[in-house]
Amino acid sequence: MATKAARSREGSAGLTNYSVLIVDDQPETLAALRRLLREEAYQLVTCDTPAKALEWASENRVDLLIADERMPDMRGSDLLERVREISPETVRVILTGYPGSSTVAHGLSHSVDWLISKPWNDDALKITIRQLLEEHDRRKRPRPASESSPDPAPRSREADEADFCEQAAIPLCSIGADGTILWANRAELEFLGYSRDEYVGRSLRDFHVDPRTERPTYSSRE
């Protein structure tokens, strides 16, 4: 059975008609998220199994779904794909304690909209959910006729993947065979404190050297 948290009268105006569904098999995680988000304006619903989440989503509107990636019965990204079939407009977010490249790749292949790592920052999590709902709200609003313009050309899968990686909450970078940094996302740059011009194009050795061996901390595969 799904658990609904009491909705506060406070919170971001304009989000009171939206619902957020969170799925995690760990009771303590759900309890922590209910405590954290109970003052938010939107309706909060939690489920402890993917089956319960699917049942809720099939009978109720879900504007944003956050699912733990590692659950016994079903991967969170697989659940999000199932919900996408039921509700294509639902914003789909993965919650994971293992934000590595395999998780990102699996999320990309399942059209995940966002990734949140455990443990989360409380303020950042609340802001992220609000921003995702506000963006969802803007997409749903019809544009005035005076602002109408021809539909943009469809985006390629490569462009969608690039945007996902750039906006990911975990640091990501691409390294060439010779150790040159080819690309870094915003989280990587903010974590290290460099601008894109200062970081990209330089050798990884300039930033990541093991002081015990004076060797770079990566290994190149020929």
Of 65 and 3, which is predicted with more confidence?
A: 65
Residue 47: partners with Cβ closer than 8 Å, 6 or more residues away:
2, 3, 21, 22, 23, 53, 56
What is the architecture of the domain spanning 3-140? 3-Layer(aba) Sandwich (3.40)
pLDDT, residue 170, reads 66
CA distances to 45, 65, 160 from 24, in Å = 11, 11, 27
pLDDT, residue 146, reads 52
pLDDT exceeds cutoff 80 at 145: no
> Tens digit of pLDDT for each residue in 26-60?
999 999 999 999 999 999 999 999 999 999 999 99
CA distances to 153, 204, 207 from 216, in Å = 43, 7, 9
pLDDT exceeds cutoff 50 at 9: no
User: What is the reported pTM?
Assistant: 0.62
Count of residues in the chain? 222
Mean pLDDT of the chain: 78
C-beta atoms surrounding 130 within 10 Å: 18
Closest CA to 201 of 218, 174, 181: 181
> Tens digit of pLDDT for each residue in 85-139?
999 999 999 888 765 545 555 555 556 888 888 888 899 899 989 988 988 878 7
Read off the tokens for 125.
């999590």
pLDDT, residue 193, reads 84
In the chain, domain spans: 3-140, 171-216
Of 172 and 130, which is predicted with more confidence?
A: 130
pLDDT, residue 11, reads 47
pLDDT, residue 144, reads 54
pLDDT, residue 153, reads 58
